[in-house]
């Protein structure tokens, strides 16, 4: 999948899109640093923290949250591993997704708040930017695709010019961010569809 991303989004295209960055602070920029601080201040994630975390995460989602399994103990272990920088497996990501509304989008957001340096946020606009394809559930819910997305983001942060771009975005928004966050923001802002595409994809976004 990463080769598909590289083919659709060349380094030249990405740098051109960085130059078009035009983003003003929004309401969720008030929440974002607080969400990060919540998990950074926790030494060990418990069920209490998991429940609070996934519910404030869904403040950034268009759907009502619903636990879809009872695998809390497994999820707590996985989230603590993620917090400590352990590389997750597809099976572990599937376990989290299965608990968290069966949504990879919501799962990626929670993982980002737990460890922003390792897990970028995945959503329909980002998927569209990377592929030019509508984010139907079988596409955006694919855990292998999400891991390819992580690798692609890491690849882009290694571009020589990116450090200056990253620092510029952090300065503009007024708070520090991980590089994976600023890369994802560029993708998000450049990942809008046409009006007809947005109508087609709206239902699929609301299922996540």
Give the Cβ contact number of residue 204 at 10 Å.
17
- Number of folded domains that form the chain: 1
Largest CA distance in the chain: 46
pLDDT at 193: 59
Compute the radius of gyration of the chain from its Cα atoms.
Answer: 16
Between CA 179 and CA 176 the distance in angstroms is 9
What is the reported pTM? 0.90
Q: With 80 as the cut, is the pLDDT of residue 196 above it?
A: no
- Give the pLDDT confidence of 147-172 residue by residue, as tens digits: 999 999 999 999 999 999 999 999 98
- Give the pLDDT confidence of 73-115 residue by residue, as tens digits: 999 999 999 999 999 999 999 999 999 999 999 999 999 999 9
pLDDT at 149: 98
How does the average pLDDT of the chain come out, rounded? 90
Question: Can you tell me the mean pLDDT for 171-180?
Answer: 93
**Which of 18-32, 53-67, 105-119 reaches the highest mean pLDDT?**
105-119
- Residue 159 Ramachandran class (φ > 0 left, ψ -120 to 50 alpha, else beta): beta
Percent of the chain with pLDDT over 70: 92
Between CA 5 and CA 2 the distance in angstroms is 5
Q: What angle do CA 127, 132, 138 make, to 5 degrees?
A: 50
The sign one gets for the Cα dihedral 96, 113, 35, 79 is: positive
Angle separating helix axes 143-157 and 90-99, nearest 10 degrees? 110
88 contacts 81 by C-beta, under 8 angstroms: yes
pLDDT at 26: 77
Q: What is the DSSP letter of 192?
A: P
Structural domain including 49 reads 2-206
159 contacts 179 by C-beta, under 8 angstroms: no
Phi, psi of 147 (to 5 degrees): -65, -35
Angle separating helix axes 124-131 and 143-157, nearest 10 degrees? 70
Question: Can you tell me the mean pLDDT for 43-69?
Answer: 95
């Amino acid at each position: 999948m990463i080769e598909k991303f590289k083919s659709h989004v060349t380094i030249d295209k990405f740098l051109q899109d960085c130059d078009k960055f035009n983003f003003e602070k929004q309401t969720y920029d008030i929440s974002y640093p607080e969400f990060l601080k919540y998990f950074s201040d926790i030494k060990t994630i418990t069920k209490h923290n998991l429940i609070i975390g996934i519910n404030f995460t869904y403040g950034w989602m268009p759907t009502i949250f619903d636990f879809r399994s009872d695998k809390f103990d497994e999820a707590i272990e996985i989230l603590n591993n993620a917090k400590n920088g352990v590389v997750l497996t597809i099976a572990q990501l599937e376990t989290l997704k299965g608990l968290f509304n069966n949504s990879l989008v919501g799962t990626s957001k929670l993982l980002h708040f737990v460890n922003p340096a390792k897990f970028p946020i995945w959503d329909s606009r980002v998927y569209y930017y990377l592929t030019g394809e509508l984010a139907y559930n079988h596409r955006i819910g694919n855990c292998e695709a999400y891991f390819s997305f992580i690798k692609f983001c890491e690849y882009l942060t290694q571009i020589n010019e990116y450090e200056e771009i990253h620092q510029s975005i952090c300065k503009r928004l007024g708070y520090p961010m991980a590089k994976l966050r600023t890369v994802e923001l560029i993708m998000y802002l450049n990942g809008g569809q046409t009006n007809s595409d947005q109508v087609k994809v709206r239902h699929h976004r609301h299922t996540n």
